[in-house]
Amino acid sequence: MSQTPEAPQTTSRVVGEDWYGRDLTGAEHRQVAFVDVDMTEVTGTGAVFEECTFAGVRFNASVHVEAAFVNCTFRRCSFFDARFERSKLVGSSFDDCELSALAVDGGNWSFVRMRGADLRSARFTGTRLREADLTSANLAGASVRDGDLSAAWLHGTDLTGADLRGTELSGIEPGAVLLRGAIVTLAQAVTVAEALGLDVRAE
């Protein structure tokens, strides 16, 4: 089981500011603590946040294109209807965050920690989630298409009715996840069957 990561050390703070609708294009922030900041409907391309912490920050309806949130910690943040396109969130963690209607197109979310997250209305398309910690996360009915879940932590994860077509599922342990009604391709069905120990043959 993966361990809870330590929050990054920060050297400055932004507290209670109103960034509503701000254009973050080209912005760079490193080791900054953002507390109760309103980032609702912020947009931008290429923003960089490295080793930052976000507590009580509102990202609702925000759009992040080719952004980088690397080794960041999000606590009690709201991402309702937020969208990430071709963005990098490697090593970041989400704790007690609102993630309803989150949309992720492409990008690298490897090693992300989303233990116990409610992702039932989330959509991941073409996203690399290799070794992501989704332990006990709820993805029932979610869409995780054409991505990579190889070596992801999925113990107790609910994938009931999730659309998993085209996503790399090698290494999945069917007995450790809920897969009833999940939508997969024939090739993926073979992968899951083999993981169950079945000898799959053409005839």
Paired tokens of 8: 């990054």
Q: How far apart are CA 129 and CA 111, in angstroms?
A: 7
pTM: 0.92
> Tens digit of pLDDT for each residue in 23-76?
999 999 999 999 999 999 999 999 999 999 999 999 999 999 999 999 999 999
Residue numbers of the domain that contains 69: 8-98
Residue 15 lies in a domain: yes
> pLDDT category, 201, cuts 50, 70, 90?
confident
Phi-psi region of 159 (alpha: psi -120 to 50; beta: other; left: phi over 0): alpha
Residue 167 lies in a domain: no
Sign of torsion, CA 8 12 13 19?
negative
Residue 114 lies in a domain: no
Q: How far apart are CA 147 and CA 169, in angstroms?
A: 9
Residue 94 lies in a domain: yes
> Tens digit of pLDDT for each residue in 95-137?
999 999 999 999 999 999 999 999 999 999 999 999 999 999 9
CATH code of residue 87: 2.160.20.80
Residue 107 lies in a domain: no
* Structural domain count of the chain: 1
**Number of residues that make up the chain:** 203
Residue 199 lies in a domain: no
